Amino acid sequence: MNIDEMQAGPELDALVAEKVMGFVWEKSNNGNWIHPNGFTLVNVPDYSTDIAEAFLVSQKIAEKIFIDDSLDPNCEKGINSLALVQVGVKDWCAAFMSDCDLPEDWIEDANSLPFANNASTPALAICRAALKVVMSTELANG
């Protein structure tokens, strides 16, 4: 699966709900989603198309992810920042990072950052970047 090529919509929203937000698929209840707080949802929120929902995704990353020194051995803050910048006329770049690993010229080469994504909308860029964070953490933790 190439996260950078995923399109906004229900498939991406479902992946974000599961991997980032912690929703559990409940098969015995007509295929509904179970929210981490225990209530049932029929539909997953529109994370990849609604900026308000996408900002909830970025908050979850800040709460959930702590990578001690994988980005910078001198920095122990983990991932605590979301940079969201409009690039050109049509594109957006979202990047999750520690305060310690943001190079001054990061916008010029955002794709070189491990947890960044360029997309046509800010919500899509945030969701893709968040998936990169969570999936790389899953791989690192086995």
Q: What is the pTM of this model?
A: 0.76
Q: Which of 125, 126, 82, 73 is nearest to 100 (CA)?
A: 73
Output the tens digit of pLDDT for each of the chain's 142 residues: 789 899 999 999 999 999 999 888 765 556 677 777 777 777 889 999 999 999 999 888 877 765 444 444 555 555 656 777 767 777 887 887 765 655 666 555 565 666 778 888 999 999 998 998 888 766 545 5
